[in-house]
Amino acid sequence: MACGVRAGRALARRLRDVRAVLFDRDDTLIRDVPRYNGDPTLVQPIPGAAEAVGRLRAAGLPTGVVSNQSGIGRGFVSHMQVQRVNARVDALVGPFDTWQYCPHAPADACTCRKPAPGLVVRAARALGVEPHHTVLIGDIGTDVRAARAAGAVGILVPSPRTLPAEVREAPLVARSLGDAVDLVLAGLAGAGVATAVAAPAARTARP
C-alpha cells in the first residue's frame, strides 16, 4: 500500500466538536532519547512542532501532553528528572495547558499507561472538557488505542518507530504535526476529512 486514504462523515462530525488537543511527547513533540531521557539539555523538538502547537493556541484550543514515562517505574529516571524534561519541552514547544504522565511500569497494570484511557481522561478533566471532545495526536498504535479507549479521536503521525499495521489501524493519519493540526482546524471549520500518508518503510518489529 503506497498510500492510505481515510475519510468519513462520522469523523468529520467528531472533529467539528473538538474542544482540546492532546499530544504524545516522545517521537511526537520531541525526538525520543534511547534509555529514558532524564536530561533536559537533550530535548530536541520535532521540526515544526512549536509552530503547529502555536496555531492551536492561536485558534483558542487548549492543549495538553499525555506521556508514558515507564522509565520512572523501571528505576531509570526520577519524577524530578521527567518533570525537568517536561518543563524544557514546555519552554521549547508549549506552553501546554496540562501535562499528564504515567510513571508506572507495564507490570504495574495501572489504568493510566497508554493504551489505557487514564491519561486522556485526566487531561480532559484538567482542561474542563469531555474526553470525547478531545483529539490525541501520537506516533504509535498505543496512542491511537488510548484515544479510542477514552472516546477521543486519534490522529497518527508516523515516526520511524511506527509499524505499518499501526498506520493501517489508525482512523486518521497525517504526515506531520503541521498536517495533523491542519486536519483538526479544518475539521473544526466543518470541512470534510480526508488524509493520505506515505507508508513508512516496512518494519516488522519496533527497534
Tell me which residues touch Zn ion (CB under 5 A).
102, 104, 110, 112-113
CA triple 188-131-68, angle to 5 deg: 110
| Least distance (Å) between residue 103 CB and Zn ion | 6
Q: How far, in Å, are 99, 119, 120, 122, 134 from residue 125 at the CA level?
A: 12, 10, 9, 5, 11
| Least distance (Å) between residue 12 CB and Mg ion | 26
| Least distance (Å) between residue 108 CB and Mg ion | 19
Q: How many residues bind Mg ion (CB under 5 A)?
A: 4
CA–CA gap between residue 193 and residue 183 (Å, rounded): 7
| Least distance (Å) between residue 40 CB and Zn ion | 22
| Least distance (Å) between residue 25 CB and Mg ion | 7
- Residue 26 site contact among Mg ion, Zn ion, none (CB < 5 to 8 Å, cut-off depends on kind): Mg ion
Binding mask 103-142 for Mg ion (x = CB under 5 A): ------------------------------------x---
**Piece of the chain touching Mg ion by CB under 5 A; list 26-34, 37-45, 169-177, 183-191:** 26-34
Grid coordinates of 1 = 500500500
Name the amino acid, one letter, at 29. Answer: L
- Cα-flanking dihedrals φ and ψ of residue 197, to 5°? -145, 145
Q: Which is nearer to Mg ion, 19 or 161 (CB)?
A: 161
Q: Which of 11, 26, 136, 157 binds Mg ion (CB under 5 A)?
A: 26
Grid coordinates of 163 = 509499524
If DSSP states are collapsed to H, E and C, what string results for 90-145? Answer: HHHHCCCCEEEEECCCHHHCCCCCCCCCHHHHHHHHHHCCCHHHEEEEECCHHHHH
| Least distance (Å) between residue 118 CB and Mg ion | 17
Half-sphere exposure of 54 (CA within 13 A, CB side): 7
Q: Which residues within the stretch 139-158 sit at the binding site for Mg ion (CB under 5 A)? A: 139
Nearest position to Mg ion, beta carbon: 27
Where b means 16+ CB within 10 Å and e means fewer, 57-84 reads eeeebbbbbbbbbbbbbeeebeeebbeb
Q: Which is nearer to Mg ion, 24 or 179 (CB)?
A: 24
- Residue 112 site contact among Mg ion, Zn ion, none (CB < 5 to 8 Å, cut-off depends on kind): Zn ion
Question: Which positions touch Mg ion (CB under 5 A)?
Answer: 24, 26-27, 139
